[in-house]
Structure 1
Amino acid sequence: MSYITSDQLAKRPGARELAQIATPEHEAVVDSELMEATLTGADRSTWSIEEIEVADEALGTIEDAMADAKSVIDGFLARRGYLPLNPVPPIVTTWARAILRYMLHKDRIGDSKDDPIVRDYNDAMRLLQLTADGKFSLGADDPIQTEGADLDVQFLSDGRVFGRGCV
């Protein structure tokens, strides 16, 4: 189980970005509509077999990055006993998206200081470390924070010390 689905990736960062960064270098960039259809499992019969093969290869690259992102996240969450996550908290999906995008953009050239992809990746890594250290919660779905929440509270006291029968 991955922490992010290809349907979620089709919405954000979107099929166009994924096609640009995941298409094999020796091929023309996959058409964004074909990439979206590939990500969402929609009908691809209007494209040629060759175009579909390239889109499938791009999807394979994306799926590899999804698996790598999951491994990174699991490495941090395992330290706190969070695994397996069911359901997956939304913050974990956000981290998976940030890590996946960073991995797919690994060959990017430019100033990383102002790059939102690098910023999101660094934020995800920082929050994962805080989570592993027990200083950040996964939110309402946090399995560690909600453990024991359904236990009954009981109050016990000693017997009466004073009463009408005491003289």
Structure 2
Amino acid sequence: MSYVTPLQLAEKPGARELAQVASTEHRAVVDAELMDRTLRGGDRSSYDADDMASADAALARITQVIVETDELMDGYLAARLSLPLASVPLTLTRVARAVVRYELHKDRVTDAKTDPIARDYYDALRLLDAIRDGKVTLGVSDPSSADSPALDVRIESGRKTFGGDELRGFR
């Protein structure tokens, strides 16, 4: 199970940005509407075969970056969590989205102080470090919380050590 899907990427950062960064170099950028339909699995019949091939190539590049991001995140998370996860917490989807977005911007000259894409990427890596080290949980949906025993306090009454019969001798 991937931490982020093409459909989630279509929502944010959006098809226009993805088309700009995932299109084949030295070729026309894939039309944003076609890229959106490709990411969402929508109807593309109104486009010609060359345009659809370009959109498919862009989707293949995005999918490859998603796979690489999944492997990176698994490397961090395997130290603390049992993988694969039954469901992906929203926190991990946000982390994956930041990493995929950064990796797709391969030619971008970045400075984490001024570039939000680079800042989000470095913040995501720091969050993965903190999750791996147990400093941050994944919230209510944290799978590791199911592995740890819940605090269970039980009081059992047993035989009285000093009951009325035992104390009669002291009167």
TM-score (normalised: structure 1): 0.93
Indicate whether 1:82 and 2:82 are aligned.
yes
Identity of aligned residues (%): 50
Separation in structure 2 between the aligned mates of residue 112 and residue 135 of structure 1, nearest angstrom: 23
2:129 maps to 1:129: yes
Runs of 4+ in structure 1 over 3 Å off: 148-154
Q: Deviations over 1:76-119 (max 9, x none)?
A: 00011331111111000000000000100121135442100001
- The aligned residue for residue 140 of structure 2 is 140
Larger-Rg structure = 2
Unaligned runs of 5+ in 2: none
1:157 CA drift (Å)? 5.0
Structure 1 pair 87–110 and aligned structure 2 pair: CA distance change class (3 A): closer
| Partner residue in 2 for 1:73 | 73
Structure 1 segment 11-160 matched on structure 2, within 5 A: 11-109=11-109, 111-148=111-148, 153-156=153-156, 158-160=158-160
Letter in 2 for 1:72: L
Tell me if structure 1 keeps the 8 A contact 2:111–2:118.
no
CA distance in 2, matches of 1:111, 1:122: 10
Cα RMSD for the two superposed structures: 1.8
Query: Against the structure 1 CA distance between its residues 134 and 112, is the aligned structure 2 distance closer, same or farther, given a 3 Å change threshold?
Result: closer
In structure 1, C-alpha distance between the alignment counterparts of 2:161 and 2:119, rounded to whole Å: 64
In 2: Cα distance, 1:98 partner to 1:85 partner = 20
Distance in 1 of aligned mates of 2:87 and 2:112:
33
* Structure 1 portions without partners, runs of 5+: none
